[in-house]
Structure formats: C-alpha cells, structure tokens
Amino acid sequence: MLFGFVLLFGYAFVVWLVFFKFKWMKFNIPWGIVSVSVGLHLLIIFLLGLRFVTPASTDAQVIQHTIQLTPRLNEPTLVTAVLVEPNVPVKKGQPLFQFDRRNYEAKVQQLEAALAKAKQNVLILKADTEVTTQKIAKLKFDLEYAKYQSKLSSDLAKQGAGPQEEAQKWQAQVGADEAAIAQAKAEALATKLRYTSQINGVNTSVAEVEAELAQARFYLDNTLMVAPEDGYVINLQVRPGMVAGDVRFGAIATFIVDEGRYVLAKYFQENLKYVKTGQPVELAMDLYPGQIFNGTVQAIWQGSGRGQMLPSGVLPDFKYVAAELPQGQFAVAITIDAPDQKMFPLGTQGRAAIYTDLKSGFTVLRKIAIRSYSWFNWIYPFSG
C-alpha cells in the first residue's frame, strides 16, 4: 500500500510542478481529463489491495440451527396442554407439549396383558412337550400289547382254538396304535418347535409381543414432547384442542437451538484467493450501530448451487454469461468471538471483513471503512 501512496502523491506532485509551479505546460480541459484519468487508474492499486488483502462481504447473516418439532405419534392425537411460551428460553428436556395419553395408555395395558399371556403360553408349551412324551410312551406300550394279542389270537385261530375275527381285530389294533404313535410324534415335534422357537434366548411369541409393547411405550412417552436442546420456540401457533399425528404433515413448531450459531457471509470467488481458516474477521452488525465485533474464519464452503446438476432426462441448457460480470459467490462461515452469543438473534445481518494480512496498510483502510458503515447505521435507513 505504501508503494501506491508514493505513486499517487508523486504523480500529484509532478502535475503540480508541470502545470502550476513552473507552468511548463498550459493546464486545459484535455490535459485535465488525462491527468484525472491517470490518477484514477493509480487508485486501482488500493481497490485491488482492499479486495484481495481485506475482502469484505455486504451480505452477512447470523445462522442458528433449527429443529422442526414434529409429533412422533402413530394416530391423530389431541393436544391437551401447551407448556412453553414463545421466545422464552428453555433447557434440554423441559416439557413443551402434552398430548392425550388415554389411547396410548390403553394400548400399553393391552399389550402388557398379551405379554403375560404369551409368557404363560410358553409354560403351557413346555408342559405340552412333557405330555406328548408320556403319551408316546403309553402308545408304545399299547402297541406292544396289541402285537402280543395279535400273535396270540393268530396262533389260536391256526390251531382252531380261537375265532379268526379275533385275530383280525388285534391286527387292526396294531395298525391303529402305530398310526397313533406317528400322530403323537408329529404333535410332539410341533409342540417342541413352538416351545424352542427363540430369538436371542426369548420365545418368538413373547419377543413379538415385547416388540409391540416397546413400540406402544415409545408412542406413550412421545405424548409428552420435550425440548431437544437448550433454546426457545418461535412463532408458536399450537393451542390445546389442536389435533396432531400421522394425518398431519410437517412440524407444529420451530425450535431455535442456542448452541452452534455462526455468521454466514457471501464473497465473490475471486476475492477468496488468500482467505484461510483461522484468519481474523471484523463484523459490523446492523442490530448494533457503532459497534464492531471480532470473529474468526471457521470454514469456506467450497461450492454453490450453481454447480449442482440434478439427475434428469433433460439435457443441461447452458446460457451465455457476459465476461464483465463478477464470478459467483461462495459462503464463508465465521464464528463470533463474543461471550454472550444470545445477543445475535437468528437472521441478524450486517457486513464482514476478513483480514488476510494484519501488517498490511490495506487493513487500516478496511477498518476505517467498516467502522464508517457501522456508525452510518445510526442514521440509515432514513425512517421516522
């Protein structure tokens, strides 16, 4: 910057000597135009220095994380109480809205009873496996007895000491006992499969009811909506009597999170040539005329929506852009070095200047410029 001042004042000194001190040449309109034109071109040095050494953004806004409060309920549910006031700070876990619990409590009680029944059925299945085991043992004894009687009656019939019908009767009984044993074994297998059907050591019928009960308790817990973070609710429109649930789309309120706020400033791409994370920043927020706040470059968003192409069957339509137009803008995230972050509400706007070299003389010029803007906010805009 010193070189620029030397050139500017040296040029002015030469003009003064030539046209006014020694009057070697007559100062007229053409020479006046030439002299002013050359002087203005020398001022480009300061313009370049300010743009690249101390780039400034005229569009800086405070960004805060927001959470859309959407009821996690599986059926239309009545809002019974609103436990929060708009724009009033709340802590994480503090109740916000109460929904009607009755249907969800009844569902939980119903599934608790079903779970008790399912556990009892497991005990019954265990007893049934023992019963079928004993039943098979009894049928085997009956089969042995029927085989004995069949052989005895057949021998007697061959010797003419007994009727042939008796032998046929016991042969039929043997077949019936064998079929009964096969049926009892199938029943025993089915009972054993139902009893030993498990997942993670729990009977599947019990696990199924436990899963349904856990879901029902989840919805019951969500009948009380609590604050997800420290913050506040803005634009509160919820009132008792309102119905929310699965037939209502979207959130019922917006929650503004206290932590993690930052300033997002937009810069022309060419002005970010020397900008790096960690560099100091000065902010002039319109909410506080006459004040300057310090900050730090947190991140440079390397990209913009203009470079994004969505999948489509339509070919891109590239349009001519005049060469004299500036390049597109990139966003720079800036953290504010202030102990009380709550003094910068969501959407607060202003200007931001990044200092890539604090030892440069252009830094002084930018500091003067941004302070002038901040003090000018006392009177502008001109409103009564």
Measured at the alpha carbon of residue 59, what is the angle toward residues 56 and 60, in degrees to the nearest 5? Answer: 85
Q: Provide, rounded to the nearest whole percent, the portion of the chain with pLDDT above 90.
A: 36
Residues contacting residue 368 through CB under 8 Å, at least 6 positions apart? none
**Six-digit token string for 360:** 């440069």
| Residue 246 near residue 45, CB atoms below 8 Å | no
**Residue 62 φ then ψ, to 5°:** -80, 130
304 falls in which pLDDT band (50, 70, 90)? confident
265 falls in which pLDDT band (50, 70, 90)? very high
Measured at the alpha carbon of residue 146, what is the angle toward residues 144 and 152, in degrees to the nearest 5? Answer: 105
Which comes out higher in pLDDT, residue 135 or 284? Answer: 284
Mean pLDDT of the region 149-169: 67
- Output b/e per residue, 170-201; b: 16+ Cβ within 10 A: bbebbeebeebbeebeebbeebbebbeeeeee
CA dihedral 116, 122, 127, 133 (to 10 degrees): 170
Residue 282 clears pLDDT 70, i.e. is over it: yes
Out of 16-20, 197-201, 346-350, least confident range:
16-20
Angle at which helices 2-16 and 29-53 pack, to 10 degrees?
170
CATH topology of domain 71-100+223-257: OB fold (Dihydrolipoamide Acetyltransferase, E2P) (2.40.50)
Residue 181 clears pLDDT 90, i.e. is over it: no
pLDDT for the residue numbered 317: 75
Which comes out higher in pLDDT, residue 112 or 47? Answer: 112
β-strand partners of 330: 267
Give the residue from 270, 308, 295, 272 showing the smallest Cα distance to 352.
295
Residue pointed to by tokens 């019936």: 176
2 falls in which pLDDT band (50, 70, 90)? very low
Mean pLDDT of the region 350-360: 91
pLDDT for the residue numbered 7: 44
Alpha-carbon gap, residue 353 to 296, rounded angstroms: 10
Sign of the dihedral defined by the CA atoms of residues 138, 141, 147, 150, in that order: negative
CA distances from 378 to 204, 367, 372 (A): 73, 18, 11
Out of 184-193, 207-216, 304-313, least confident range:
184-193
Which comes out higher in pLDDT, residue 48 or 263? Answer: 263
Out of 244-258, 266-280, 325-339, least confident range:
244-258
* Structure confidence by residue, pLDDT tens digits, 42-61: 455 556 767 888 999 999 99
Helix locations, 73-163, DSSP H: 102-158
| Residue 352 near residue 283, CB atoms below 8 Å | yes
pLDDT for the residue numbered 383: 47
157 falls in which pLDDT band (50, 70, 90)? low
Residue 204 clears pLDDT 70, i.e. is over it: yes
Give the residue from 211, 227, 264 showing the smallest Cα distance to 57.
264
Mean pLDDT of the chain: 80
154 falls in which pLDDT band (50, 70, 90)? confident
User: Is the CATH number of domain 55-64+260-306+325-384 2.40.30.170?
Assistant: yes
Residue 266 clears pLDDT 70, i.e. is over it: yes
Which residue type sits at 212? E
pLDDT for the residue numbered 109: 95
Mean pLDDT of the region 254-280: 92
71-100+223-257 matches 55-64+260-306+325-384 in CATH topology: no
Residue 139's CB: how many other CB atoms inside 10 A? 20
| Domain coordinates in residue numbering, the chain | 1-53, 55-64+260-306+325-384, 71-100+223-257, 104-218
| Residue 262 near residue 251, CB atoms below 8 Å | no
Residue 232's CB: how many other CB atoms inside 10 A? 19
pLDDT for the residue numbered 382: 56
Mean pLDDT of the region 130-139: 73
β-strand partners of 312: none
CA distances from 370 to 62, 226, 291, 294 (A): 18, 43, 10, 12
Beta strands in 214-328 (DSSP E): 224-226, 231-234, 243-244, 253-257, 262-268, 280-285, 293-301
335 falls in which pLDDT band (50, 70, 90)? very high
**Residue 351 φ then ψ, to 5°:** -125, 155
**Residue 300 φ then ψ, to 5°:** -110, 120
